[in-house]
Amino acid sequence: MERLKVLLITLVTASGALALSILLLLLASTPEASPIDVIILTLTQGPPNHIPFFFPLASLLFLSLTLASVVGVFYFLIVPEIKTYQMNNSAEAAEIAVEMVMKTLKPEEQKVILVLRAHGGRYLQKYISKEAELSKLKTHRVIARLSERGLVRVTKRGNTNEITLVEWLTQTTHAHNNNSSSAKR
């Protein structure tokens, strides 16, 4: 909706600028008349005879503006919706997003994420430490960094923490596992 408002403001501004430029051209061609008289004469009798190029030029400008507006509407409203629809309906696109995030992580962070994904997105920190083959301190620091980035949530459970992957990582895990298990059958 915000894009539509911006596009509408742009269209109104451009139309106003076109009307103002036409008015200034008419006023420049007849300096002895008042602006209101020039507007009334132009609307009732057409443009003055000494500027015959006026209407073809104005028509060309108006058609160009209309064409640009239609292209703008298509680009700002339809194209992003198509991209969003394709991304939301594609398990492959979600896996690509996960792969892109994984590439930005350090090796220890990748190990922790992979352990969590292998266990359905939720696991105790003490077991993550063992499976990722990291010290308890290193595991704690890695999980703290992942939590700061918003990739995991940490919940206190007795003398350890329960680590949970964010929902979008968990959902892509399930989609990936379902696709993999379907392919194996």
Q: Domain coordinates of the chain in residue numbers?
A: 2-88, 91-184
Q: Given this model, what pLDDT does residue 156 score?
A: 93
pLDDT bracket for residue 78 (50, 70, 90): low
Instruction: Identify the sign of the CA torsion 169, 171, 177, 180.
Output: negative
Strands ordered across the beta sheet of 160-165:
122-124, 160-165, 152-157
Q: Is the pLDDT of residue 178 over 50?
A: no
Tell the CATH topology of 91-184.
Answer: Arc Repressor Mutant, subunit A (1.10.10)
Per-residue pLDDT averaged across 37-43, rounded? 75
Q: Could you give the C-alpha distances from 171 to 16, 104, 120, 148, in angstroms and in order?
A: 50, 20, 9, 20
Q: Is the pLDDT of residue 175 over 50?
A: no
Q: Given this model, what pLDDT does residue 101 score?
A: 82
Q: Are 61 and 18 in contact (CB under 8 A)?
A: yes
Query: pTM score > 0.85 for this model?
Result: no
pLDDT bracket for residue 104 (50, 70, 90): confident
